[in-house]
Amino acid sequence: MNIEWESSGEGSPLLLIQGLGYGRWGWEPIVPGLAARHRVVCFDNRGIGESDKPEGPYTAAQMAGDALQVLDEAGIERAHVLGASLGGMIAQELVAAAPERVDRLVLCCTTPGGPNAVPMPEVTLRLFAEAPSLPPEIALRRFVENALGEDPPTELVDELFARRVANPPDQAGWQAQAAAGMGFQGVDAEIASPTLILAGTADNVVDYRNAELLAARIPGARVELLEGSGHLFFWEQPDESVRILNGFLG
């Protein structure tokens, strides 16, 4: 399995795991601030970007194996791990499978999985139902707007829309990744790594109330909410995100 990865900066290793349909470019707003203190490693999940796109469906546990492969290839024995959305599910599987490889854990805009998780907000379910009847460029822009918080700046919507157009996901890979998210039922192992859970209060993709449900499952976990921000809060509030992350990671 070829998993394309890159690293920048020096210091304690920090592995970033992206969510559904986003390649490693999706971390660009926060990488410079994090790389000032850490060796930041980003990669394309299987099914997207320059990584292999095997036939799906995938599981979050499989994708956690890919993340461990990246750590091995980078020569990193132990790292901080940050996962967003589907990446947060992958991060949970990673720390459950190989707790000795994880120093501090950050779970962003994600869910504990299983039947007790707060379901996807209705506004996004309606958008998924409506999207096939829309012109593709209109549907894509609607999804970009939906991933942001309250009254997103037009210039930010334009920037993300342009980046999505320039980096279209492989359709089969997207569906295989989506299966990993839909099939995630949580992890049975107790997570012992110091854990920070971040979410935007205006997240239309993963209900932010899942943050507290996650925290209840992880001893000592701390929750921080970004008021008015959406699913892509690290694009909306990059400086604040870096401040919180660097403060937690040390």
pLDDT digit string, tens, across residues 30-58: 999 999 999 999 999 999 999 999 999 99
SS3 category, 134: coil
Read off the pLDDT band of 78 (50, 70, 90). very high
Q: Which fold has domain 5-249?
A: Rossmann fold (3.40.50)
Q: Check residue 171 and give its pLDDT.
A: 93
Q: Check residue 181 and give its pLDDT.
A: 97
pLDDT digit string, tens, across residues 235-247: 999 999 999 999 9
* Terminal-to-terminal C-alpha distance of the chain: 33
* pLDDT (mean) for 10-22: 97
Q: Check residue 240 and give its pLDDT.
A: 98
* pLDDT (mean) for 149-169: 95
Read off the pLDDT band of 23 (50, 70, 90). very high
What mean pLDDT value characterizes the chain?
A: 97
Sketch the domain layout of the chain as residue ranges.
5-249
Strand (E) or helix (H) holding 107 = strand 102-108
- Residues 6+ positions from 205 with CB-CB distance below 8 Å: 85, 109, 120, 121, 124, 146, 147, 230, 231
Read off the pLDDT band of 185 (50, 70, 90). very high
* pLDDT (mean) for 14-31: 97
* pLDDT (mean) for 80-99: 98
Q: Check residue 245 and give its pLDDT.
A: 98
Are 117 and 134 in contact by the 8 Å Cβ rule? The answer is no
Q: What is the DSSP letter of 29?
A: T
* pLDDT (mean) for 159-179: 95
Strand (E) or helix (H) holding 11 = none
Q: Check residue 97 and give its pLDDT.
A: 98
Read off the pLDDT band of 94 (50, 70, 90). very high
Q: Check residue 249 and give its pLDDT.
A: 97
Q: Check residue 182 and give its pLDDT.
A: 95
* pLDDT (mean) for 169-194: 96
pLDDT digit string, tens, across residues 113-145: 999 999 999 999 999 999 999 999 999 999 999
Structure tokens that stand for 145 in this block:
């707007």
* pLDDT (mean) for 196-223: 98
- pTM score, two decimals? 0.97
Read off the pLDDT band of 200 (50, 70, 90). very high
